[in-house]
Amino acid sequence: MNWNRTPEPGADLLDRLRREPRYTIAEAARLAGTSPQLVGAWLRGQMTTSGGRSVRPVIPHEGPLLSFLDLAEVVVVRGFREGRDGVGRISLRRLRVAHEFARQALGIEHPFASRRLFYEGGHIMHEFEGANPGPGRLSVDLGGQFALPFSVQELGEQFDFDTTLDQLALRWFPAGRAVRVVVDPAVATGRPAIAGRNLRVDFIAGRFKRAGESIDWIAEDLELDREVVEAALRVPA
């Protein structure tokens, strides 16, 4: 991809931006393709029907907003919860314990937002399952080598990561790298935007859905390919 990148801020500022609360629970759920109830339960805990116990919050939140790193972890939680590829659906309670296990194993505050999860996570989750037997699988045995379920592993291709020891997410391509839409905490206040442009997807969607402008006109006016506009309109904003 030869998209022109917006100049990046310094490493310290970028780290602050991706940790800064900016998404409501409803926004995070829409972007991640899941429900507000799941996001709220993951972050804050929720009473369950089994024994009346609660799923404790992974990260304590006093306010209603999530950071970009929180959003990245919600995306991975959704992947674990999809239950595809013959892997049973994982409860939030079990995922919360697995998250804590990974946090201690990797020494990272946001382990589900780290590249290391996608490289080391299969073996870490296998160790977790050995120490914490329970329903659902968080790792897949590939002839003695353990990997994350494919519904999680494929998500690693959607993120750019930094090169620090923690290797945390920098930006997210929610529709995959072939689509020129990115969620970058340093661009467009962290909302989905056209890669290389400070141009929010919700602005494009507003012109199409509310103003009734045609895709061809929007593409010409914004100097974008028609395919880019069409792809942007398919991405939740």
Report the distance separating Cα 87 and Cα 36, nearest Å. Answer: 24
Nearest C-alpha neighbor of 138 from the set 94, 191, 200, 185: 94
Query: Last residue of some domain: 170, 190, 209?
Result: 170
Query: Last residue of some domain: 170, 189, 205?
Result: 170
User: Which residues, including other chains, have CB under 8 Å from residue 204's CB and lie 6 or more apart?
Assistant: 194, 218, 222, 229, 232, 233
223 DSSP assignment: T
Asked if 31 and 101 sit in the same domain, the reply is: yes
Considering its fold, how many domains does the chain have in total? 2
Asked if 144 and 192 sit in the same domain, the reply is: no
Residue 91 in this model has a pLDDT that exceeds 50? yes
Q: What per-residue confidence (pLDDT) applies to 39?
A: 95
Asked if 148 and 229 sit in the same domain, the reply is: no
Asked if 159 and 208 sit in the same domain, the reply is: no
Label residue 144 left, alpha or beta by phi (over 0 means left) and psi (-120 to 50 means alpha): left
The residue behind tokens 């939740």 is 236
Asked if 188 and 88 sit in the same domain, the reply is: no
- The fraction of the chain above a pLDDT of 70, given in percent, is 86
Asked if 189 and 222 sit in the same domain, the reply is: yes
Burial (CB count <10 Å: 0-12, 13-18, 19+), residue 142: exposed
* Mean pLDDT, the chain, whole residue set: 88
183 domain residue, yes or no: yes
Asked if 113 and 26 sit in the same domain, the reply is: yes
Report the distance separating Cα 165 and Cα 187, nearest Å. Answer: 24
Task: Give me the domain span that covers residue 223.
Answer: 173-237
Residue 218 confidence class, pLDDT cut points 50, 70, 90:
very high
Query: Last residue of some domain: 133, 155, 170?
Result: 170
Q: What per-residue confidence (pLDDT) applies to 135?
A: 79
99 domain residue, yes or no: yes
Q: What per-residue confidence (pLDDT) applies to 47?
A: 45
The CATH number given to whatever domain includes residue 189 is 1.10.10
Report the distance separating Cα 89 and Cα 93, nearest Å. Answer: 12
- The fraction of the chain above a pLDDT of 90, given in percent, is 72
Asked if 218 and 118 sit in the same domain, the reply is: no
152 domain residue, yes or no: yes
Asked if 106 and 201 sit in the same domain, the reply is: no
Residue 56 in this model has a pLDDT that exceeds 60? no
pLDDT 10s digits, 166-199? 999 999 999 999 999 999 999 999 999 999 998 9
4 domain residue, yes or no: no
| Least trusted range by pLDDT, from 27-36, 70-79, 123-132, 141-150 | 141-150
5 domain residue, yes or no: no
Report the distance separating Cα 112 and Cα 76, nearest Å. Answer: 6
Residue 3 in this model has a pLDDT that exceeds 70? no
Nearest C-alpha neighbor of 208 from the set 217, 196, 220: 217
Asked if 184 and 144 sit in the same domain, the reply is: no
Q: What per-residue confidence (pLDDT) applies to 57?
A: 63
Residue 86 confidence class, pLDDT cut points 50, 70, 90:
low
6 domain residue, yes or no: no
Its pTM stands at 0.88
Residue 48 in this model has a pLDDT that exceeds 60? no
134 domain residue, yes or no: yes
3 domain residue, yes or no: no
| Least trusted range by pLDDT, from 42-46, 54-58, 140-144, 157-161 | 54-58
- Which residue spans within the chain are E strands per DSSP? 23-24, 65-66, 140-142, 145-147, 159-161, 169-172, 181-182, 193-194
pLDDT 10s digits, 133-172? 887 789 988 888 899 999 999 999 999 999 999 999 999 9
Asked if 40 and 138 sit in the same domain, the reply is: yes
Q: How many CB atoms lie within 10 A of CB 212?
A: 7
C-beta separation of 190 from 198 below 8 A? no
Asked if 28 and 145 sit in the same domain, the reply is: yes
